[in-house]
């Protein structure tokens, strides 16, 4: 009985410690994100809070913690978005992520003790483990053409609802999907078409989340991606 009680208390304590990380990430994003853009200029002048989050991402150890898949999914999403911001700050000022050679596939970060690029984190860890097309609307690459970054962290106990809500928010944006006589779509739909069309067409996927549905027979095209920096200034 004592062993069971100790195990339960240990699990609660570890869960509480883990939740603290998400809470700190949430505070940070609320402070430096506004209307889908990041205050890089202010962050550059005082990056202590960001550096502490990056260190937590690097050193966090799951070996003695019982966590769910939802925990891992939320952790990786937040880690990706924060590490993107960190890379921008390290190089700031920059015109955008593509102005830096190897921004996504050469520059290495530490995530839970392992070295990996942003591409490896996104595709090799997160999407490989959780092949969820909604992830494309919450992972933000520091460019204006990306889905706007949320001013909150993704939480393990809310992640499924947050993914659906954010997907709806993004596909409802009139600049992300431009509907006239045809539907002009973000190139995200072109680059990751296979992810979106597993169970139907692109429009089928969009209409699953979009508030104002699109005619399933409408012609679709893709407009050029905007790679300028998603900066408040």
Least confident residue range of 6-20, 75-89, 167-181, 196-210: 6-20
Count the residues in the chain. 233
Q: What is the pLDDT of residues 199-220, one digit of tens each?
A: 999 999 999 999 999 999 999 9
| Four-residue CA torsion sign, 69, 72, 78, 80 | negative
| The predicted structure's pLDDT at residue 156 | 97
Q: pTM of this prediction?
A: 0.92
Instruction: Please tell me the distance from the alpha carbon of residue 139 to that of residue 119, in angstroms, as a whole number.
Output: 11
pLDDT score at 11: 42
Rounded to the nearest integer, the mean pLDDT of the chain is: 93
Inform me whether the pLDDT recorded for 6 exceeds 80. Answer: no
Which neighbouring-strand residues pair with 183?
179, 220
The gap from C-alpha 88 to its chain's centroid, in whole angstroms, comes to 15
Measure the CA–CA gap between 78 and 102, rounded to whole angstroms.
Answer: 21
The residues pairing with 111 across neighbouring beta strands, listed in sequence order, are 114
């Amino acid at each position: 009985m004592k062993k069971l009680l100790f195990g339960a208390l240990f699990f609660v304590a570890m869960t509480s410690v883990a939740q603290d990380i998400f809470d700190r990430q949430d505070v940070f994003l609320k402070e430096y994100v506004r209307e889908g853009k990041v205050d890089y200029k202010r962050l550059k002048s005082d990056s202590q809070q960001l550096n502490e989050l990056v260190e937590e991402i690097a050193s966090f150890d799951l070996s003695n913690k019982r966590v769910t898949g939802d925990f891992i999914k939320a952790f990786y999403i937040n880690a990706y978005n924060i590490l993107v911001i960190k890379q921008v700050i390290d190089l700031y000022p920059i015109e955008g992520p593509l102005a830096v050679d190897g921004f996504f596939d050469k520059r290495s970060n530490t995530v839970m003790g392992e070295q990996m690029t942003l591409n490896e984190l996104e595709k090799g860890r997160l999407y490989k483990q959780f092949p969820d097309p909604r992830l494309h609307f919450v992972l933000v690459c520091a460019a204006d053409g990306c889905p706007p970054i949320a001013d909150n962290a993704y939480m393990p106990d809310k992640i499924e609802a947050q993914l659906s809500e954010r997907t709806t928010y993004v596909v409802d944006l009139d600049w992300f999907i431009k509907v006239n006589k045809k539907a002009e779509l973000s190139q995200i739909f072109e680059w990751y078409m296979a992810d979106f069309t597993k169970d139907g067409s692109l429009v089928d996927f969009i209409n699953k989340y979009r508030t104002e549905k699109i005619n399933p027979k409408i012609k679709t095209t893709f407009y050029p991606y905007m790679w300028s920096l998603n900066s408040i200034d």
